Amino acid sequence: MSNTVVLGGTNSKELAKKVARKINAEYGKLHTDKFPDGETYLKLPFPVQGKKAIIVEGMHPNPNEALIETIFAARTARELGAKDVVLVAPYLAYLRQDKRFHPLECWSNRIMAALLHFADRIIVVDPHIQRIPNLQSIFKIPAKQITANKLIAEYIQKNIPDPVILGPDEESYQWAEEIAETIRIEATVLRKKRYTSRHVVIKLKRDLSLKNKNVVIVDDIISSGHTMIEVIKQAKKQKAKTITCIAVHGIFAENALSKLKKAGATRIITTNTVVNTTSKIDVSPVIAEELREE
Ligand code: R5P
């Protein structure tokens, strides 16, 4: 892929470098700075004329900054003659505001998608798909969703003996069931009722026994951590042997990581779509695989 360059954004430098190495592309970091008034300055690391430019930028932390960086980079690469501009969003922000929950609210996911149309296409790792049929339904450019599920399944197989896989809510079946299937066990998806962003109630099924089991709770995102904490409480009540929380994207808002540890999680594991101390699963292999297939 010698005619291909990978440009790493502020949040995803290391991941972008790994992807570049895997697809034998030249790597460069997007140079960003702040003007004195707080506006974003951006410069490409080298010319991209006639090249395929792959921009890798996860949208956490600082989602608004990351979004601007991605838009500026895509448009600049296009203006400077890149023959193809591909966005890779290891974590794509604003997907959870996927409807107008209350009158007069901004329906953010579609607006965010429209802002990325300077690129030719976008690849997203495990987008949060809840009330939309798929990622493509909000994008006008081709949008491909890829998943870290097989990498998470491999991690569980290597590190957790006889796991019991739990998905905390109906949406988590996309992750929990596929991961469990790869390990050739069954997943149990629980029922969750969310009252506010900080108040959720989760019910365990009556016939589910977790006593002395290695419980693995799998979800796409840990944000406030309340979803995981509710399941941890139930697993502790049932005297589970160990409790591992695994998510693709570790947002850990409002000190969620220490809250999860305090609640009794034995281990907390995430991928490197968002960089954290918990990022033990590297998603560069699935991104590179997708880019090689294009
Ligand atoms: C919701 O449908 C998602 O799959 C996650 O369960 C949710 O976003 C986690 O949020 P929190 O950590 O704030 O409970």
User: pLDDT of 104-129, one tens digit each?
Assistant: 999 999 999 999 999 999 999 999 99
**Rounded CA separation 25/275 (Å):** 22
The 10s digit of each residue's pLDDT in 44-60 is 999 999 999 999 999 99
pLDDT band for 27, please (50, 70, 90 cuts): very high
The atom of ligand 1 lying closest to the CA of 256 is: 12
- To test the pocket of ligand 1, the residue of 201, 222, 259 to mutate (highest count of ligand atoms within 8 Å of its CB) is 222
pLDDT at 195 over 80: no
DSSP state, residue 30? P
Partners of residue 85 on adjacent β-strands: 53
How far is the centre of ligand 1, averaged over its atoms, from the C-alpha of 292 (Å)? Answer: 32
Lowest mean pLDDT among 76-80, 194-198, 211-215: 194-198
What is the pLDDT, as a whole number, of residue 1?
A: 57
What is the pLDDT, as a whole number, of residue 170?
A: 84
Share of the chain above pLDDT 70, in %: 98
Ligand 1 pocket, residue 11 CB under 6 Å: no
How far is the centre of ligand 1, averaged over its atoms, from the C-alpha of 227 (Å)? Answer: 6
How far is the centre of ligand 1, averaged over its atoms, from the C-alpha of 198 (Å)? Answer: 10
Nearest residue (by CA) to ligand 1, atom 7, is 221
| Span 202-217, average pLDDT | 84
pLDDT band for 208, please (50, 70, 90 cuts): confident
**Rounded CA separation 107/87 (Å):** 22
pLDDT at 197 over 90: no
pLDDT band for 206, please (50, 70, 90 cuts): low
Supply 245's token pair.
Answer: 């929380």
**Rounded CA separation 23/276 (Å):** 25
| Span 74-102, average pLDDT | 97
* Catalytic machinery residues: 192
Ligand 1 pocket, residue 230 CB under 6 Å: no
Residue 11's closest CA among 73, 70, 61, 71? Answer: 61
Supply 282's token pair.
Answer: 């590297």
| Span 157-166, average pLDDT | 96
How far is the centre of ligand 1, averaged over its atoms, from the C-alpha of 253 (Å)? Answer: 11
Lowest mean pLDDT among 38-42, 106-110, 197-201, 216-220: 197-201
User: What is the reported pTM?
Assistant: 0.95
**Rounded CA separation 226/197 (Å):** 8
